[in-house]
Amino acid sequence: MRLDLIKKDGVYRVQKMDSGNPCIARLMTMGLLPEQELRLTHEAPLGDPIAIEFNGCQMSLRLEDAALIEVEAL
């Protein structure tokens, strides 16, 4: 499933990422890599952007960038 479709209160593992996208490449330099676990912590009132937590860090992502990350539910 894509990261932009995940639900709050779940834990997910990154499967694959589009490293050709500059935003995704930047997240990868910050430690968001395949096999990394993450969770959705916040959604904006209209749903975009979302905030995810991984490695003790929180990052905000636009849904169009989150759609480039494939995850699996744990």
- Spatial distance between the Cα atoms of 74 and 37, rounded to a whole number of angstroms: 9
pLDDT at 68 over 90: yes
Percentage of the chain beyond pLDDT 90 is: 62
For residue 11, the domain's CATH number is: 2.30.30.90
Per the structure, how many domains does the chain have?
Answer: 1
pLDDT of residue 18: 85
> Residue 38: which domain range?
3-73
- Reported confidence tier of residue 47, pLDDT bands at 50, 70, 90: confident
Per-residue pLDDT, 8: 84
User: Is the Cα dihedral 23, 29, 32, 34 positive or negative?
Assistant: positive
Split at pLDDT 50, 70, 90, the class of 16 is very high
Token pair of 40 as six digits: 């959705």
